[in-house]
Amino acid sequence: MTKNEIDAKKSNINTIFSDFWFVVPEYQRAYVWDNDQVNELLDDLWFAFENKKDSEYFLGSLVLKNLNNNNFNEYEILDGQQRLTTLFLLMGVIRDSVTNNLLVDFCSKNIYQEENPFAGVPARKRIVYKIRGEVDEFINTYIKIADGTKKVTELEEISKESDHLTIKNMANSIVVLSQFFDMKNEAEITEFAQFLFKKVVFIYVSTENREDAFRLFTILNNRGLPLTSSDILKSINIGAIEDENESNLYAKSWEEMEGQLDDEFDRFLSFVRTIIVKDKARSNLLDEFEEKIYGKHLLEKGKPTIDLLKKYKLYYDKLLNFETSEITNEYKNLITIMLIGLPSRDWIPPLFYYYAKYGKEHLTAFLKRLENKFTGDWITQLTPTQRIENMNKILKQIESTPNPEELVRNDELFTIDKEYLRQILSRNVYGRRFARYILLKYEFLISDHTVHLSDYKTISVEHIMPQNPKHDSTWVQVFTEEERKEWVHKLGNLTLISMKKNTQLNNLDFVEKKKRYLEKRIDVFSGSKIFIQTSDDWKIDTIKNRQLEMIGKLVNDGY
């Protein structure tokens, strides 16, 4: 490649992990994938393997900077680090899950190149993480060495206790990957590995000029491809309308919806797709419409498609933007916290479909059951695929149930594992993805189903007893070190404030902290009443009693 030339090619995983050597530069973010992303990747790859093993599976794009290292075909990763790191970990898990020497050796070489002084070949890991020395040690112990990924107990402990974000998430991902392959036999894993290396592909774009590389990164992330799936769907549907005047009117309707929804338009189309198909999407939006909707004659192209989109756009405005007088304040408040705090919007298609069939009858009651089901499945760690399947079960039940009251009373449809939910909420919750949402839901439940959200974008989770109290503070006198360690991150010691944390107040004694909050008029949530209650005490019994009350409310009264 000549200087400043941009190279763009398609490569399968075999080529990527055999011919390329990667560097994660200092300015890159940590490895942050958690259970959801890893499970989603595994589920999609395995589905493609089982159903389309002879077709290529596109895993996305890589943006790279060529480092011109004479010893290695070395590249800085500008975009794609999370996926490449997960695949790197996957190599280790596959290696440790089989006995086939050829596959074991192949995975090992894709992880680490042994030194060969006779051939002038230096030792080198496939991915090098700059300035993260602890990461290097972790890789040496659990990924580079055969059977390292089998040390599940150690890895689980690291995933819970490590303060190093990359190591914490790497350990967790290995555990998730290992659990997945524990349920497969060796023949399946070996066949899957052939599909993975030969049929899973990236489009990589590389240049020697870092400025050009960052420009490519920006274009790919901010502007996307010149022609999106929704653009092509528009062309297909407008083109199916023969009358020119009608075609122009429908084109205008499409463009109005697209303009009003802006960046949400493709997601809106995916909602409608889900309502029609009632199954998880396995391909891009265009292929889903072409193969599963038009190909199976579930909907006709042209006016029927655009009329259906217009109908659901109206529901979007009513149900999510509250452009109607027929919904309750309780409904509005619950929708608001769901949009703020839930990890995905897979619950929206059942909501739209319910309204399409039943209208406003029992709408709030249905939303409460829907939210509780989705939240319970999320917090009790069902995979994204399992959560989506449960939402699709609700879609199918709506289709087959004649009246809304019967649907809302269907306890089996909305069941959650309450005991496991109670266990999780009883553990340390600070720092968990659901912490802010569960506190918002608690606020909703105890405040007559209203939530004070004057500035929800700056809502933060606040410790009442601080994480690091001063050695001469009342906190150290009132609580033993063991009590502080056990209870500081528990639900009973957490509250919400609707402004950015004022770090100067974090470690103050409770009385002084409450005084400062009130003096500064920091906007506390009215339902929590932590900083406006009359008591001047915050003791171990206070936290324990609040913990019991909060968990009881969230588990038993969560509808």
pLDDT tens digits for range 354-367 = 999 999 999 999 99
Q: Which of 344, 329, 528, 346 is nearest to 439 (CA)?
A: 528
What is the structure's pLDDT at 100?
95
What is the structure's pLDDT at 557?
74
- On whether the CB atoms of residues 511 and 473 are closer than 8 A, the answer is no
What is the structure's pLDDT at 456?
55
pTM: 0.78
Q: At what angle do helices 35-51 and 81-95 cross, to 10 degrees?
A: 70
- 402, pLDDT greater than 50: yes
What is the structure's pLDDT at 449?
59
What is the structure's pLDDT at 514?
60
Q: Among 30-44, 122-136, 182-196, which is the least confidently predicted range?
A: 122-136
What is the structure's pLDDT at 522?
42
Higher pLDDT, 343 or 219: 343
- 527, pLDDT greater than 60: no
Decide: helix, strand or coil at residue 324: coil
Q: Which of 188, 159, 208, 240 is nearest to 49 (CA)?
A: 188
Higher pLDDT, 415 or 2: 415
Q: Which of 397, 395, 357 is nearest to 278 (CA)?
A: 395
- 142, pLDDT greater than 60: yes
d(CA 59, CA 195): 13
Burial of 123 (0-12, 13-18, 19+ CB in 10 A): exposed
Give DSSP secondary structure letters for 453-497: -TTGGG-EEEESS-SS--TTSHHHHHS-HHHHHHHTTBGGGEEEE
Q: Which residues contact 485 (CB under 8 A, 6 or more apart)?
A: none
Instruction: Map tokens 């004057």 to a residue.
Output: 454
Q: Which of 236, 218, 439 is nearest to 340 (CA)?
A: 439
Give me 88's structure tokens. 């790197």
- 417, pLDDT greater than 70: yes
What does the radius of gyration of the chain's CA atoms come to, in whole angstroms?
Answer: 27
What is the structure's pLDDT at 503?
46
What is the structure's pLDDT at 225?
40
Decide: helix, strand or coil at residue 548: helix
Domain residue spans in the chain? Answer: 7-223, 227-324, 327-416, 428-556
- 559, pLDDT greater than 80: no
Local confidence band at 5 (pLDDT 50, 70, 90 cut-offs): low
Give me 338's structure tokens. 């769901």
Local confidence band at 27 (pLDDT 50, 70, 90 cut-offs): low
Question: Average pLDDT of 244-264?
Answer: 89
Local confidence band at 496 (pLDDT 50, 70, 90 cut-offs): confident
Decide: helix, strand or coil at residue 4: coil
pLDDT tens digits for range 432-443 = 889 999 999 998
Q: Which helix (H) or strand (E) holds 201?
A: strand 200-207
Higher pLDDT, 448 or 411: 411
Give me 185's structure tokens. 């036999």
- 93, pLDDT greater than 60: yes
Average pLDDT in the chain: 86
Q: Which residues contact 11 (CB under 8 A, 6 or more apart)?
A: 19, 201, 202, 204
pLDDT tens digits for range 58-91 = 998 888 888 887 667 888 888 888 999 999 999 9
